């Protein structure tokens, strides 16, 4: 298989430490992470041309190498991570090994594809508005977005700093948790999950043909939780989440990259150029207003979730779009999916996505979210529930 189809854009081999918790494992890193001596490409040739080789390896990469994992290369990303499609007009689109005729999801498309192709044990990427969870959902693997600011994003190309996180994907829950224990410096959560909250209106918003898989999963995992309840996300302002998310993301993306865009005049894919054009026009007043709305979201989820509560919902709203999908279809998919994936970044809370059986050997993503800081609770639950879902 060619490198581009498998998700690799640059082969870089750095052998891990001789012993450590990740000894014997191989991983790849999204091409947003600095590797000393190499140019970080960020999915765009003009970015690569205008940036010098990195002087320091990103801490999120170095900690894995120090723990014994061997880096095998850098993986494809959507341009500057400003998409959840996984389509890159410059370098190609990684093959989705689960749905060959459909897109892999992004922006950590290469990281998800190389894991799903079984070429590495795990991979790291970034997640701003769904960039780990979406490709994990599409490619049939596990994905984790931690609590905001739990994992260092130093020496990583940013997009929207108040949402940016380092995330990781794996084919099994055990490796997912091993990575979490390392990044979070915890072995197990001190808390026991006592309550499962089902996001009822998120399930109602799901494509109908996917609902049986989600509902069946919920029935299987109910016995694990002493208490099971339901919540209506609409009562927490869900109808307005995406609008405010896009204002904050767009404003911060332009503040982060606007000067470089104006100076370098890079060639972007049409859809990504349009996103930056919109971002440039977002005013500071709009941003401040959206941030005030976000404070209410954070407060709402602080009240909703105890340290022993898990909220569950679909990861995205539908199967990944076909490769032949029009830009209008892709845009509609982004809008519908990000209604789901914008919740965790807005609230600053962790989310894990688990592949569950949909049809035959095909899967879709099932998400669980927890209170801010309860990352290990989710990883523990994920590991336990894998046995129930086999």
Question: Of 19-23, 185-189, 239-243, 350-354, which gets the smallest average pLDDT?
Answer: 185-189
Concatenating the DSSP letter of every residue in 30-68 gives ETTB--TTS---TT-HHHHHTSPPPSS--HHHHHHHHTT
Concatenating the DSSP letter of every residue in 199-235 gives EHHHHHTS-GGGHHHHHHHHHHHGGGSSEEEEE-GGG
Question: Of 17-21, 226-230, 275-279, 339-343, which gets the smallest average pLDDT?
Answer: 17-21
Give the pLDDT confidence score for residue 388 in this predicted structure. Answer: 83
Burial of 306 (0-12, 13-18, 19+ CB in 10 A): middle
Of 186, 146, 155, nearest to 59 by C-alpha is 155
- Residues 127-143: what's their mean pLDDT? 98
pLDDT digits (tens, 9 = 90+) for 208-219: 999 999 999 999
Q: Is the pLDDT of residue 109 over 60?
A: yes
- Residues 109-118: what's their mean pLDDT? 97
Strands 26-30 and 122-127: parallel
Give the pLDDT confidence score for residue 6 in this predicted structure. Answer: 85
CB atoms near residue 277 (< 10 Å): 13
Q: What is the pTM of this model?
A: 0.97
Q: Is the pLDDT of residue 390 over 90?
A: no
C-alpha R_g of the chain: 19
Q: How confident is the model at residue 57 (pLDDT cuts 50, 70, 90)?
A: very high
Is 340:316 a contact under the CB 8 Å cutoff?
yes
pLDDT digits (tens, 9 = 90+) for 269-297: 999 999 999 999 999 999 999 999 999 99
Name the helix (H) or strand (E) containing 193.
none
Strands 309-314 and 362-370: antiparallel
Mean pLDDT, the chain, whole residue set: 96
Give the pLDDT confidence score for residue 4 in this predicted structure. Answer: 61
Question: Is there a catalytic annotation at residue 131?
Answer: yes
Q: Is the pLDDT of residue 355 over 60?
A: yes
- Residues 3, 83, 108, 131: which is the catalytic one? 131
Give the pLDDT confidence score for residue 5 in this predicted structure. Answer: 75
- Residues 107, 111, 337, 363: which is the catalytic one? 107
pLDDT digits (tens, 9 = 90+) for 1-52: 345 678 999 999 999 999 999 999 999 999 999 999 999 999 999 999 999 9
Measured distance CA(104)–CA(106) in Å, rounded:
7
- Residues 116-145: what's their mean pLDDT? 98
Is 201:234 a contact under the CB 8 Å cutoff?
yes
Biggest alpha carbon–alpha carbon distance for the chain = 58
Give the pLDDT confidence score for residue 387 in this predicted structure. Answer: 83
pLDDT digits (tens, 9 = 90+) for 120-131: 999 999 999 999
Cα–Cα distance list, 312 to 124, 274, 280, 296, 368 (Å): 23, 33, 35, 21, 4
Question: Is there a catalytic annotation at residue 111?
Answer: no
Measured distance CA(286)–CA(251) in Å, rounded:
9
Question: Is there a catalytic annotation at residue 107?
Answer: yes
- Residues 332-341: what's their mean pLDDT? 97
What 3-state class would DSSP assign to 390? coil
Measured distance CA(143)–CA(146) in Å, rounded:
10
Taking each helix axis as running N to C, give the angle between helix 375-389 and helix 173-184, from 0 to 180 degrees, rounded to the nearest 10: 170
Strands 227-231 and 351-359: unpaired
């Amino acid at each position: 298989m060619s490198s581009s189809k498998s998700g690799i854009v640059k082969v870089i081999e750095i052998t891990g430490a001789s012993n450590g918790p990740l000894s014997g494992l191989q991983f790849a890193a999204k091409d947003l992470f600095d590797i000393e001596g190499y140019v970080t490409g960020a999915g765009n040739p003009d970015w690569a041309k205008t940036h010098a080789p990195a002087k320091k390896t990103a801490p999120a990469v170095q900690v894995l190498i120090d723990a014994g994992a061997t880096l095998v290369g850098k993986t494809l990303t959507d341009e500057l991570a400003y998409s959840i499609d996984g389509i890159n007009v410059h370098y190609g689109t990684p093959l989705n090994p689960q749905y060959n005729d459909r897109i892999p999801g992004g922006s950590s498309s290469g990281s998800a594809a190389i894991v799903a192709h079984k070429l590495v044990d795990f991979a790291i990427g970034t997640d701003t508005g769904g960039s780990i969870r979406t490709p994990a959902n599409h490619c049939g693997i596990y994905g984790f977005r931690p609590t905001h600011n739990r994992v260092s994003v130093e020496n990583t190309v940013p997009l929207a700093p108040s949402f940016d996180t380092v995330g990781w994907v794996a084919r099994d829950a055990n490796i997912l948790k091993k990575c979490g224990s390392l990044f979070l410096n915890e072995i197990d959560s001190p808390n026991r999950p006592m309550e499962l909250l089902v996001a009822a209106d998120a399930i109602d918003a799901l494509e109908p043909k996917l609902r049986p898989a989600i509902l069946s999963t919920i029935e299987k995992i109910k016995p694990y939780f002493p208490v099971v309840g339901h919540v209506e996300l609409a009562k927490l302002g869900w109808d307005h989440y995406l609008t405010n998310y896009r204002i904050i993301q767009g404003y911060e993306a332009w503040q982060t990259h606007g000067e470089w865009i104006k100076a370098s005049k890079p060639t972007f894919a049409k859809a990504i150029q349009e996103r930056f054009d919109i971002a440039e026009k977002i005013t500071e007043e709009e941003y401040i207003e959206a941030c005030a709305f976000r404070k209410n979201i954070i407060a709402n989820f602080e009240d909703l979730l105890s340290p022993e509560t898990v909220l569950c919902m679909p990861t995205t709203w539908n199967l990944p779009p076909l490769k032949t999908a029009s830009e209008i279809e892709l845009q509609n998919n982004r809008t519908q999916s990000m209604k789901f994936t914008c919740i965790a970044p807005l609230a600053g809370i962790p989310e894990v996505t688990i592949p569950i059986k949909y049809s035959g050997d095909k899967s879709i993503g099932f998400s669980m979210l927890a209170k801010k800081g309860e990352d290990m609770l989710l990883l523990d639950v994920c590991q336990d529930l894998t046995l129930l879902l086999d």
